[in-house]
Amino acid sequence: MGGDHGPRATIEGVEMASKIYPHVKFKLFGDKKKSEDQLNKLLLKDYEFFHTDESIKSDDEPVNALRKLKKSSMRLGINDISENTADGFVSAGNTGALMAISKFVLKTLNGINRPAIAGLMPTLKGQTVILDLGANVDCSNHNLVQFALMGDIFSQAVLGIQKPRVGLLNVGSELIKGNEIVKQTYADLRKIEKKINFHGFVEGNDINKGIVDVVVTDGFSGNIALKTAEGVAELIFTFLKNSYKSSFISKIGYLLSKPALNRFKTRIDPRKYNGAVLLGLNGIVVKSHGGTDAFGFCNAIGVAVSLIENSYIYQIKKKLELYT
């Protein structure tokens, strides 16, 4: 029921995902009356629907969603992971509520105080993990060190990078730059260089260069970085589209370069990288962008499937024992 497009994007996304992952079984949680139009169009038959009148709105306070909406579609889905009747949960709903409920129901892994939202961003060299993307606006140096460890393990497990390079986001690469928390985090990470391949400080314009495999920051800066990158990608594509419409010659140029433009569009399409993972929880929870469409939601489902099939929770538990 969450996201800007409600059950339409979710159900259509499930339909797409069912064709890519025919072995996956889906459990849908929501208001059946509000979902009826989309369910009637759904060709997938091997699914279960769990009706509830309660859903969490985008402007609901996380604490109220946790305490008062105990039969919300989000809560019921997360409860299923806790009860081992589902392997993963995907939602496009309220991020704060998703984090609060997930942390309360699933608890955090040993050695982790705060879960973090991790996502992938395209770079010149492939993809980079960035965390936190909005779960923790204020962070201590201790939190940031834990994010670095989780990002390192995530990069190994999901991207297959044996020794990921980890960078700390800052306003400059020099040691004198940054606030006290960032400086202390830098010192803390230098102390555990045998456990983690710490590159040092990176700046905002370094993220998409692929200088590091993991970018660590607080949720305030991380969320701004993510949405700025998405906005720039949209701006560039809009400028290109308008330029090709500007004259007859430009339109001919567009036809000749259309295959290359389509490849470019696919490469920077935010929907392709949709699906941020709530790291540090004792269960797999994936947050889809609220404004995405069916294609984007399908990709978020794909992230969850990949984590499940790669036994991510088992891997991260074992590796955290070695790291902490």
Q: Give the DSSP letter string of 264-301.
A: HHHHH-GGGG--EEEETBSSEEEEPPTT--HHHHHHHH
Q: Which of 107, 77, 104, 114 is nearest to 288 (CA)?
A: 77
Residue-wise pLDDT for 238-250, tens only, equals 888 888 787 888 8
Element (H, E) at 32: helix 32-41
What type of residue sits at position 222?
A: G
Q: Check for a shared fold between 6-112+280-311 and 119-230+265-271.
A: yes
d(CA 221, CA 263): 30
Residue-wise pLDDT for 17-72, tens only, equals 999 999 999 999 999 999 988 888 888 888 899 999 999 998 889 898 898 889 99
Domain ranges of the chain: 6-112+280-311, 119-230+265-271
Residues 6+ apart with CB under 8 A from 316: 109, 150, 153, 154, 157, 279
Residue-wise pLDDT for 157-209, tens only, equals 778 888 999 999 999 888 888 899 999 999 999 998 888 999 999 999 899 89
* Strand-pair category, 197-202 with 214-216: unpaired
Pick the CATH number of 6-112+280-311 from 3.40.50.620, 3.40.50.300, 3.40.718.10, 3.40.50.150: 3.40.718.10
> Does pLDDT of 264 surpass 80?
no
Cα separation values, 47 from 23, 25, 217, 278, Å: 12, 6, 39, 25
Question: Are the C-beta atoms of residues 278 and 100 closer than 8 Å to each other?
Answer: no
Length of the chain: 324
d(CA 111, CA 162): 22
Question: Are the C-beta atoms of residues 3 and 92 closer than 8 Å to each other?
Answer: yes
Residue-wise pLDDT for 297-315, tens only, equals 999 999 899 889 888 888 8
Question: Are the C-beta atoms of residues 37 and 75 closer than 8 Å to each other?
Answer: no
Cis amide bond preceding 37, omega within 30:
no
Q: Which residues pair with 166 in a beta bridge?
A: 198, 214
Predicted TM-score of the model (pTM) = 0.83
Pick the CATH number of 119-230+265-271 from 3.40.718.10, 3.40.50.261, 2.10.109.10, 3.90.230.10: 3.40.718.10
